[in-house]
Structure 1
């Protein structure tokens, strides 16, 4: 007998171990999984109804929450307390020790199988489990699986333990036993089951379509994505992060495909007389269920080895494998670094990295999965930012092999322990393996922290949210947990000193290897070191007490400096959720007063940076030894907070920047610019002051301040809608052009081409590309002319009809290639557009995927709405989910406002049909589709659209965009005219 059930929380069914015909419907599944015998009069009627229903072929559960089939001995179990699943957690009286899993996956086009078996799988699992306390049931997670109950077996000391009944509630199965199993015994749970491969819109074992070796045929493969609660969709298991066990995995897959898993392959054998391959893998370390991984497809690989002999392979589909070597190189260096840094050897003999994931990178132990653009880099085809992205993503996932896999957070409410550390350590590792050339620790203080602070001003999330249902948590997960967690960890490291921090981490990893932790375990490990840091009370710093407000409270502090006289300053704090008078903001639903003990790194004039404390309950006073001193707080930006000054304080800083900006570090200068613009956004200072912090930039030679300045100007132009042809947009463009002209050089194009592949020049190349990109974006003729010249000389003149772009434009450097296509299409008319369109078709069919993306980016730059709609329609029909999102974003960046929103409305049924089960990508597509909406008329259109499409009301991107438009309109009402006046005065 085979029973199938869905994943709805209301689905509850109970079955006896015998094939009895008795069935009845319960009213309350979770609290009464078995109906008492005292209501047999009612039950008898229900039984007759359900028997009739089943006879007619209607599924169990169709009429209500519970369907039950009982044995004649059901009274045996009534002496025992039924299991209550109301808190969504498994009982802790049975723990897994190891899993032995065999999985057979039916892929299309390889093996002759019945159509109803295509994209399904058959599973056979034996779970060894330790009984910790007396039990009369075993509870496992299982979701969207059909269990063969006749072959379900639970063994104790080699004998079968008789089952009384099996109950399914939501996503668990409860196996009620006819005897009590006492503690300190070992059970074996044997289960056979089937399941369906999910499309790439959802997590579990899902399918991916890609091009085969002939570049024409589309092939389907499968890969797992199991974080946080989706292992239960592949195998019945104890699917919670702290229920760790070993896994031994066997995969049966079609001939012509390669199977990968966590362990190293120990045998690959063809089944005699069939077209099936059996791949057996070595056992894994003890690990959480969400780290179990399988991938099946047509892959090639590039290989390297670490100093300790660990085999590292980067796998990709045949058309992309040439872009894999860079990731192997970075992977080898990072794995060597982490082994040396932690003193703990990587516990597997191999590490596979596969560019075969629709959801982003995943740190499965021994088998890392990536989106192709996060693992593959080619100096011939890739923009410069791709190299940085590949390096940081590979480092992040390898970092997880220690921070997350070896030591795992106990529950999902402290996911930042996994993600924050992996992100932080990715930058630390790359800083070391590139010999400091990338200065990637500076990125934490600028790019990462700034991203977190911007998100944290509106998302109202703490690092330690309450998590009752991990599935809901994952669906609402944002990068704030990565970036804020990273920023907080960096602040702690700066506070106690890097050497002490490193020593404490080694203690933490060693003590809790193969285990689970709470954040208190981390603080205790760090406190075993000999750090000398003092807390706000002058006593040795209590890390647990210090950390609690930063991890449990929402938001962050804004630190304000008041000059009491020419040499004495008072420093106070208020929350970003409050106005400057300490009153909650109108949009703050929490209405809670929050304060922090804040480490204040400060610099007076050109003196060295010092550390003191601002207590949560009183102001801080700092005295300078000189008259007319300039005090800067959060110097070097170690602290997770914003700085603000009175008008005179900002003016003194601005004057100092103009006279000698180098007395402040690049990190400090970057933070000054960022915090000035955020203070203006919060109405604490005028925008004229924030813009004045940019006047010195003509002398700036460092990437970080320039990057921050360009981000803030771009954000301001978005709020002011300065690119939509409004009156005054010319003034904005002239202002930015005037700011950049002194530092822009034609030689940047040549320099980027030469330097982009040299690690020692990555910051210089990033600076050059930042300036080129913004300078061209505001319409600088001399900049655009360089791109159009490249397009004419290297594309139109050299690429013949039917020729692959990847073969004929090799003289255009990778970092410049996408923009070359863009400006060619935008400025050179229909001939250029049709040329790029033709090249994209050919490249997509039989060429290089990266070059194909460059060409698609170029097509997004066209300003003809009819052609853009044609382009978008093709993308929605044919491209992967991630690529559709990127294409929508590319069109949005090129300010095709009306066409994007119009296309979204006109093609909603098709878009929603493709993306409805992938909430993350659907949100991203809608967000991109609305990105250029700015007016009251747009708000009315959005509201009417949501009203007419009920499913749209559940997608928060619509309501969030309405709020953003309203905020932007209010912002424009306050700031537009003064800003235009400023731009005109400084153009």
Structure 2
């Protein structure tokens, strides 16, 4: 493997040599679903860029049996076999040496015969198990290549810039379905009960987007209108036999979204068909393989009668996200993984746009603030965060950046930019970008250039700091004595406290979005471009003023105390919009954590929300109060009960107002979710009436009265019953999870609630159960996540992680990012510097290089939360006492 200089001077990428480039792959595979092996043959047309007698390409855990070259440029004018085949495990490469050199500018065909295993690692070409209607365990073969696992399926140039075209042929049993990115070109019987299924040639594309699937599959089908392509596009959802009708909702969404994106992108969907497949064993949520998108079952299947509205919305979001990739990522591909955000940030943003278009009742852009912006701000407040455009040197580093920065901060940066330049200009630029770079690779700078030309604004000038620099600012507001101006200053925000001088060098371009009670927003939008500046705001004559209107900017705001009082009054009187109310409470809570203000200030502000009615605002309030309860876990029982009492004053009235039953059959789904949120929060904070009713309904549900919990209530009802119950409740919920007749989202809800038990014996049983065959590898985190919410269970969970570390590494060795998820869950709830030191000492003895970023973030979060608790422990005690708790 050679090291190549990148476009970014600070980043040295470990890339394959550039002496040979692939043009076209002709790939033949013969999987055996019984033996869980396969044989393969690939003929790769290559271009010789430099005279060479050596070819290096990627190969990982494959046995290459033969390699030969055919070219008219060879002295023999025929074919020669490789004189040596050397596999380098650490580099995941195959080095092929030949007796003759191929001249510069010539073309050749590289032919390789190889074999591999259909592994159980959920990467490469792997097997997924499912149970048929007769209770038999069956296998299907499927693929997951992003970011660097095409090389596990066949030898190839496995880098996004090495685009080529592909012809795929699969030799399979006659009764099986075979799928790939393109439509079937021909099927031919070959004897012994086998057939060859050959697919049409793909467009030029990256290896990570290739896909193929073999198994017993059912499908349902619909078609687009044909107005964009001149012909209807067949869209199918494939599932294991008997489940296809559960794909109806996703199928309807996908047809509409394909049409919608063709409109907004100004480019038709370029492939002849779209297949979407539910895979039982699947580590990611979904994968945007061009024309053959794969999903976890929970991300694609909906039982219209039983699936919760949140799970249904999740399906709409994931389908829209993956379809966005068909243009943004597949048609135009990032040039290297350091530009991952171009794929994921944009797909997150435009996927949200599509869901908002199809389902306005979801208030999806308000949910965007909690699900994406606040998620991004939380992670990016850590010193161990990373820029949106993050240097990536080697394959091992790539999986560590599939996180809230690439997805959620990337999407939030696009939201901030599109709001500033206007959606019309934004989409004009996007359409130009796609047209210019289609079937090619592009960089962030290419996107900025297109948007600058469309908007007449130098986008690159002000967006570079947002994508290339780590973190974001806190904007501190000072009111000037003249009563008509404010001074604003920006510094880097860190949850651990004030940034040092060396950490605080960035000066961001900050759209301030100043609004007042009278003007709502000033035009043009005021922008802070230096460390500090003064702006005209009629402080003395305005009832209130607020920065970051609609909470579209990526920053926190700290106001003078008098301004906070005025904002609180505006909230209480219903004068601030929903998104602004979310931003205010999120900022107040975050500034308490970092020490820029006190926790008592945040608690006082909560009172302004007493009459709050919007579900998403309550979601943010619950998130922030849950964080307080979690961090204050080491307090005395007396103080913890007072915090619970505070929680009950917030959420118990909500339960009484909303009741336990929907007001009507067509109740707003967000109201149903709010009811569940209130019941969960009140139940966990000890509301005796809620606990009793949850328990009564729980047992009625298992006695046959399925109306006891509607679809949105089941998760909350199960959680409260298990938390305050014992073995009986635990076993009932466990049996519900194990019953495959239940909707997959509800099964997983039951599994994720088992960790709320307080019984040490049940905790031990759950930890053993989590590693059994009853829980798929991709769902282990669901089984253990709730254990981290209990002080006693945290210790047992951390011990389990240590005891099973080697087993977990073996199980997830091909997807080590999952080890990062497990370490985050197993350690994230702790408070105490000594605990952080203990965790750090243990992990220092392990090879955590493939998930070190998550280790650093988990340790930093423990120390940051510990500092918050120590700083404000007395402050909270005093506030509780003076406010009647």
Common fold: TM-score over 0.5: yes
CA distance, structure 1, for counterparts of residue 679 and residue 176 of structure 2: 45
CA distance, structure 1, for counterparts of residue 349 and residue 647 of structure 2: 34
Query: Which residue of the partner structure matches residue 331 of structure 1?
Result: 254
Aligned match for 2:574, one of 631, 656, 661: 661
Query: Which residue of the partner structure matches residue 557 of structure 2?
Result: 643
Instruction: Answer whether contact 1:840 1:855 (CA < 8 A) is retained.
Output: yes
CA distance, structure 2, for counterparts of residue 894 and residue 383 of structure 1: 26
Q: Structure 1 residues 515, 679: closer, same or farther in 2, change over 3 A? A: same
CA distance, structure 2, for counterparts of residue 828 and residue 280 of structure 1: 57
Q: CA deviation at 1:889?
A: 0.8
Query: Which residue of the partner structure matches residue 777 of structure 1?
Result: 684
Q: CA deviation at 1:577?
A: 4.8
Residues 1:389 and 2:314 are matched in the alignment:
yes
5+ residue gaps in structure 1? 1-8, 10-29, 32-85, 109-117, 532-539, 585-589, 799-807
Residues 1:630 and 2:555 are matched in the alignment:
no
Query: Which residue of the partner structure matches residue 58 of structure 1?
Result: none
Query: Which residue of the partner structure matches residue 477 of structure 2?
Result: 561
- After TM superposition, the score normalised by the length of structure 1 is 0.81
CA distance, structure 2, for counterparts of residue 197 and residue 645 of structure 1: 58
Q: CA deviation at 1:831?
A: 4.0
Aligned match for 1:682, one of 580, 583, 594: 594
Q: Structure 1 residues 450, 855: closer, same or farther in 2, change over 3 A? A: closer
Instruction: Answer whether contact 1:881 1:921 (CA < 8 A) is retained.
Output: no
Q: CA deviation at 1:160?
A: 2.2
Instruction: Answer whether contact 2:127 2:142 (CA < 8 A) is retained.
Output: yes
Aligned match for 1:303, one of 205, 218, 221: 221
Instruction: Answer whether contact 2:33 2:139 (CA < 8 A) is retained.
Output: yes
Query: Which residue of the partner structure matches residue 856 of structure 1?
Result: 751
Higher Rg of the two aligned structures: 1
Q: CA deviation at 1:461?
A: 0.7
Instruction: Answer whether contact 2:472 2:492 (CA < 8 A) is retained.
Output: yes
SS in 1 for 2:653: coil
Q: Structure 1 residues 157, 946: closer, same or farther in 2, change over 3 A? A: closer
Aligned match for 2:505, one of 593, 616, 635: 593
Query: Which residue of the partner structure matches residue 197 of structure 1?
Result: 118
Q: CA deviation at 1:578?
A: 10
Residues 1:345 and 2:268 are matched in the alignment:
yes
CA distance, structure 2, for counterparts of residue 507 and residue 795 of structure 1: 57
Q: Structure 1 residues 899, 312: closer, same or farther in 2, change over 3 A? A: same
Q: Which moved more, 1:420-429 or 1:326-335?
A: 326-335
Q: Which moved more, 1:472-481 or 1:237-246?
A: 472-481
CA distance, structure 2, for counterparts of residue 337 and residue 748 of structure 1: 39
Residues 1:125 and 2:42 are matched in the alignment:
yes
Aligned match for 1:417, one of 342, 365, 377: 342
- After TM superposition, the score normalised by the length of structure 2 is 0.90
SS in 2 for 1:271: strand
Residues 1:695 and 2:607 are matched in the alignment:
yes
CA distance, structure 1, for counterparts of residue 233 and residue 58 of structure 2: 34
**What is the CA deviation profile of residues 315-356 of structure 1, one whole-angstrom value per residue up to 9, with x for unaligned ones?**
222464453222112111111111121221112222111121
Q: Structure 1 residues 836, 597: closer, same or farther in 2, change over 3 A? A: closer
SS in 2 for 1:918: coil
**What is the CA deviation profile of residues 498-544 of structure 1, one whole-angstrom value per residue up to 9, with x for unaligned ones?**
11101111111111111111112112211232x3xxxxxxxx63111
Instruction: Answer whether contact 2:239 2:277 (CA < 8 A) is retained.
Output: yes
CA distance, structure 2, for counterparts of residue 950 and residue 528 of structure 1: 50
CA distance, structure 2, for counterparts of residue 787 and residue 961 of structure 1: 34
CA distance, structure 2, for counterparts of residue 296 and residue 228 of structure 1: 22
CA distance, structure 1, for counterparts of residue 737 and residue 537 of structure 2: 64
Instruction: Answer whether contact 1:413 1:466 (CA < 8 A) is retained.
Output: yes
Residues 1:492 and 2:417 are matched in the alignment:
yes
Instruction: Answer whether contact 1:755 1:765 (CA < 8 A) is retained.
Output: no
Aligned match for 1:572, one of 489, 506, 530: 489
Instruction: Answer whether contact 2:516 2:543 (CA < 8 A) is retained.
Output: yes
Residues 1:652 and 2:573 are matched in the alignment:
no
Residues 1:470 and 2:366 are matched in the alignment:
no
Aligned match for 2:14, one of 72, 77, 88: 88
Query: Which residue of the partner structure matches residue 769 of structure 2?
Result: 874
Residues 1:547 and 2:456 are matched in the alignment:
no
Query: Which residue of the partner structure matches residue 506 of structure 1?
Result: 431
The Cα RMSD (Å) is 3.0
Query: Which residue of the partner structure matches residue 454 of structure 1?
Result: 378
**What is the CA deviation profile of residues 19-43 of structure 1, one whole-angstrom value per residue up to 9, with x for unaligned ones?**
xxxxxxxxxxx79xxxxxxxxxxxx
Query: Which residue of the partner structure matches residue 20 of structure 1?
Result: none
SS in 2 for 1:144: coil
Instruction: Answer whether contact 2:632 2:869 (CA < 8 A) is retained.
Output: yes
Query: Which residue of the partner structure matches residue 234 of structure 1?
Result: 153
SS in 2 for 1:655: helix
Q: CA deviation at 1:828?
A: 5.3
**What is the CA deviation profile of residues 907-945 of structure 1, one whole-angstrom value per residue up to 9, with x for unaligned ones?**
555445434443222232333233444356755764675
Q: Which moved more, 1:491-500 or 1:780-789?
A: 780-789
Q: Structure 1 residues 484, 352: closer, same or farther in 2, change over 3 A? A: same
Q: Structure 1 residues 267, 422: closer, same or farther in 2, change over 3 A? A: same
May I ask how many residue pairs the two structures share in their alignment?
857
CA distance, structure 2, for counterparts of residue 854 and residue 621 of structure 1: 50
**What is the CA deviation profile of residues 151-206 of structure 1, one whole-angstrom value per residue up to 9, with x for unaligned ones?**
523223794254674464533344455555455543222221122333226x3222
Q: Structure 1 residues 835, 137: closer, same or farther in 2, change over 3 A? A: closer
**What is the CA deviation profile of residues 734-769 of structure 1, one whole-angstrom value per residue up to 9, with x for unaligned ones?**
11111223333364432288347xxxx233333333
Query: Which residue of the partner structure matches residue 23 of structure 2?
Result: 97
Q: Structure 1 residues 725, 930: closer, same or farther in 2, change over 3 A? A: farther
Q: Structure 1 residues 726, 752: closer, same or farther in 2, change over 3 A? A: farther
Instruction: Answer whether contact 2:119 2:127 (CA < 8 A) is retained.
Output: yes
Instruction: Answer whether contact 1:239 1:289 (CA < 8 A) is retained.
Output: yes
Q: Structure 1 residues 549, 961: closer, same or farther in 2, change over 3 A? A: closer
Q: CA deviation at 1:784?
A: 2.7
Aligned match for 1:621, one of 535, 540, 551: 535
Q: CA deviation at 1:444?
A: 3.2
Alignment of 1:932-947 (within 5 A): 932-935=829-832, 938=835, 942=839
Q: CA deviation at 1:702?
A: 1.7
Query: Which residue of the partner structure matches residue 214 of structure 1?
Result: 134
Q: Structure 1 residues 855, 904: closer, same or farther in 2, change over 3 A? A: same
Q: Which moved more, 1:573-582 or 1:709-718?
A: 573-582
SS in 2 for 1:347: coil
Q: Structure 1 residues 754, 779: closer, same or farther in 2, change over 3 A? A: farther
Q: Structure 1 residues 873, 698: closer, same or farther in 2, change over 3 A? A: same
Residues 1:243 and 2:162 are matched in the alignment:
yes
Instruction: Answer whether contact 2:828 2:861 (CA < 8 A) is retained.
Output: no
Query: Which residue of the partner structure matches residue 740 of structure 1?
Result: 651
Q: Which moved more, 1:228-237 or 1:809-818?
A: 809-818
Query: Which residue of the partner structure matches residue 317 of structure 1?
Result: 240
Query: Which residue of the partner structure matches residue 188 of structure 1?
Result: 109
**What is the CA deviation profile of residues 750-798 of structure 1, one whole-angstrom value per residue up to 9, with x for unaligned ones?**
2288347xxxx233333333323222221222333332232232323x3
Q: Which moved more, 1:157-166 or 1:313-322?
A: 157-166
CA distance, structure 1, for counterparts of residue 716 and residue 582 of structure 2: 27
Instruction: Answer whether contact 1:128 1:186 (CA < 8 A) is retained.
Output: yes
Query: Which residue of the partner structure matches residue 202 of structure 2?
Result: 284
Q: CA deviation at 1:396?
A: 0.5
CA distance, structure 1, for counterparts of residue 319 and residue 158 of structure 2: 26
CA distance, structure 1, for counterparts of residue 653 and residue 719 of structure 2: 25
